[in-house]
Chains A and B, each alone.
Chain A
Amino acid sequence: MKSIFKPVIGVIIILLLFSGLSRAGDCLVYAGAGLKRPMTEMIGSFEADTPHRVDINYGGSGHLFGMMAMGRPCDVFIPGAQRYVDIAVEKGWIDEADVVRLVKHIPAIVVPQNNPSRINSLQDLVKPDVRLALGDPRACAIGNLAEKILKKNGIHERAKTRTRVYGPTVNQLLLYVMTGRVEAAIVWKDLARWPENNGDLQMVEISECRNIIKYIPVAVTLKGRKNPAAESFAAYLASTGGLDLWRKWGFEPCSSLISSN
């Protein structure tokens, strides 16, 4: 009979170890894949300043939205575009009062280093022999927005014939530009800053009158409202220190936040 105790104790120890290892953070955040760099740093400094621990899930905004639809828990939702928060409000997962516009999200064109096809404006995207990579309009925020920008400028149909690939995530588009598989892609300006500084690609701005500028919202979900860590993290993102970090990574804070701080 004695021999049975050792394995049982062993199993209990293993279970305890696992429960220790998987001790979850006290706040679960869903953030758009394109926000990875600023968010990682944001969480680092937030955790250093407060006793809270943050768990974060990165993904295409649509994908994150789908996970919420499947009932996966989420305290704070930071998608790449306002649209997803609006739908979440409609579905009753988020109260409109808990949504704050954080920073501007500006689309821009990226081209491989040295700009082999000499693309200097939106119109140049439909030059002959240009291969384009765009986001899948239904899968990621930038894909949806790129389609609207091209339509607004009346070059959507022509751009379609130039498009070689509709990527489900925006990071994939950067990969295809950096490896020279396409001559241009439309991505978020902030996302292009880091590889641009690295010399892996070049950014071409879209003139303001032709562009459509979006905002990145942060929203505490109804479930997250009961969680002080979630409220505190959302407030941190919009604080002076938080906004400085956003600026560092190439995002422009919304003017309403600057005046209120």
Chain B
Amino acid sequence: MQQLNIFKLILIGITGLVTLLLAITIGSLLFVPSLASIRQNLGSPELLYSLKLSLCTASAATLFVMLLALPVGYTMSRFQFAGRRLVKTVLDLPIAFPELVLGLCLLLFFGSDHVAAALKKVGIELVFTRQAIVAAQIFTALPYTIRIIRTTFDYVSPRYEFISRSLGYTHFETFMRVALPMAKKGILAAAVIAFARSIGAFGAVLILAGGTYMKTDVLPITLFLNISYGNLDLAVTAGLVMLAVSFLAIYIFEKTEADL
């Protein structure tokens, strides 16, 4: 009994230390600039521009990500097919490799003359543009979102769907009226994570969209550029805005997950 308590104490102690370490590290962002300079920087045209651009691009990216992740996540949770393991590996791959590599892959693919020409015909330009930001964000957020949606459907018993089918609903109707409503909260959580990942996407956005000041200048790029410009206060303010977004995202995520 005595030993068990010491073990428990050590584990709780380590958890407390790690939490403290993270809190202090993240909190240090709060203590660099004065409140007045944060307020001033929050109103600066550059920050307003990148905040607006971040919110627009991340919302668009989240929409696309959800449209893609829902069918893929459901497929991976429900169906058995040849090559399933390979598909799973490919889908998970981008989680493990650095965003800069992803950015390089995207540049090489979307930048190649044939692909660029074909896309241009339908009005899409995916290098150095705002559309490029959305594309980079989609590719950054997609693998995480698919994983969450897959896990969500894994927790919903397929029995309800069998019953619905046996009562005469088609597969599509069953998906829309049974599977989706039952996975509602998980889907909301996935959307929140997709949005947060899109807001935070940096490496892929930098390479594909170029990171041009006041053009493809989203929040993480603003932070990076302003460190380069030696404007630490604005960099920190951009960091604080992203911190607020992540905090909100994790809060909503935890809340929906708790209800799951």
Q: Does A95 contact B (CB under 8 A)?
A: no
Q: Which of B37-45, B74-82, B152-160, B225-233 contacts A (4 or more CB under 8 A)?
A: B225-233
Do A62 and B107 have beta carbons less than 8 Å apart? no
Do B111 and A165 have beta carbons less than 8 Å apart? no
Q: Does B248 contact A (CB under 8 A)?
A: no
Do B10 and A63 have beta carbons less than 8 Å apart? no
Q: Does A140 contact B (CB under 8 A)?
A: yes
Q: Does B127 contact A (CB under 8 A)?
A: yes
CA gap between A190 and B207 in the complex, in Å = 23
Do A66 and B227 have beta carbons less than 8 Å apart? yes
Name A166's closest neighbour in chain B (CB-CB): B212
Q: Does A172 contact B (CB under 8 A)?
A: yes
Give residues 50-108 of B contacting A (CB, 8 Å).
104, 107-108
In this complex, which of B213, B216, B229 has the most chain A Cβ atoms within 10 angstroms of its Cβ? B229
Do B107 and A175 have beta carbons less than 8 Å apart? yes
In-complex Cβ contact of B229 among A70, A139, A166, A181 (8 A) = A139
Q: Does B224 contact A (CB under 8 A)?
A: yes
User: Across chains A and B, which 8 residue pairs bring their CB atoms closest together, nearest first?
Assistant: A165-B210, A139-B228, A62-B228, A166-B212, A63-B228, A66-B227, A165-B128, A138-B229
Name B107's closest neighbour in chain A (CB-CB): A179
CA gap between A164 and B230 in the complex, in Å = 24
In-complex Cβ contact of B228 among A3, A7, A60 (8 A) = A60
CA gap between A63 and B214 in the complex, in Å = 18
CA gap between A168 and B113 in the complex, in Å = 25
In-complex Cβ contact of B128 among A60, A69, A139, A164 (8 A) = A164
Q: Does A250 contact B (CB under 8 A)?
A: no
In this complex, which of B6, B213, B230 has the most chain A Cβ atoms within 10 angstroms of its Cβ? B230
CA gap between A140 and B213 in the complex, in Å = 13
Q: Does A38 contact B (CB under 8 A)?
A: no
CA gap between A134 and B213 in the complex, in Å = 12
Q: Does A65 contact B (CB under 8 A)?
A: yes
| Cβ contacts under 8 Å, A200 to chain B | none
| Cβ contacts under 8 Å, B211 to chain A | 136, 165-168, 172
Q: Does B206 contact A (CB under 8 A)?
A: yes
Do B128 and A181 have beta carbons less than 8 Å apart? yes
Do B212 and A66 have beta carbons less than 8 Å apart? no
Name B216's closest neighbour in chain A (CB-CB): A165
Assess A69 versus B107: contact at CB under 8 Å? Given A165-B212, A166-B213, A167-B211.
no
Instruction: Categorize the interface residue count of chain A.
Output: 20 to 34
Instruction: Categorize the interface residue count of chain B.
Output: 20 to 34
CA gap between A19 and B113 in the complex, in Å = 51
| Cβ contacts under 8 Å, A209 to chain B | none
Do A66 and B228 have beta carbons less than 8 Å apart? yes
Name B226's closest neighbour in chain A (CB-CB): A66
Do A166 and B228 have beta carbons less than 8 Å apart? no
Give residues 28-68 of A contacting B (CB, 8 Å).
60, 62-63, 65-67
Name A133's closest neighbour in chain B (CB-CB): B210
Q: List 5 A-B contacts (CB under 8 A).
A: A62-B230, A139-B228, A165-B128, A167-B211, A168-B206
CA gap between A27 and B175 in the complex, in Å = 63
Do A3 and B6 have beta carbons less than 8 Å apart? yes
Assess A166 versus B230: contact at CB under 8 Å? Given A136-B225, A179-B107.
no
Q: Does B3 contact A (CB under 8 A)?
A: yes
| Cβ contacts under 8 Å, A133 to chain B | 210
Name A169's closest neighbour in chain B (CB-CB): B228
| Cβ contacts under 8 Å, A67 to chain B | 227
Do A179 and B128 have beta carbons less than 8 Å apart? no
Do A69 and B207 have beta carbons less than 8 Å apart? no
Assess A168 versus B6: contact at CB under 8 Å? Given A69-B230, A139-B229.
no
Assess A136 versus B228: contact at CB under 8 Å? Given A4-B6, A165-B212.
yes
Given contacts A165-B210, A167-B211, A180-B113, 13 further A-B contacts (CB under 8 A): A62-B230, A66-B229, A70-B232, A136-B228, A139-B228, A164-B128, A164-B210, A165-B211, A167-B210, A172-B207, A172-B210, A175-B107, A175-B207
Assess A168 versus B228: contact at CB under 8 Å? Given A3-B3, A180-B113.
yes
Name A84's closest neighbour in chain B (CB-CB): B230
CA gap between A168 and B210 in the complex, in Å = 8
Give residues 168-218 of B contacting A (CB, 8 Å).
206-207, 210-213, 215-216
Do B127 and A181 have beta carbons less than 8 Å apart? yes
Name B104's closest neighbour in chain A (CB-CB): A175
Do B232 and A69 have beta carbons less than 8 Å apart? yes
CB B167 to nearest CB in A, in angstroms, measures: 56
CB A141 to nearest CB in B, in angstroms, measures: 11
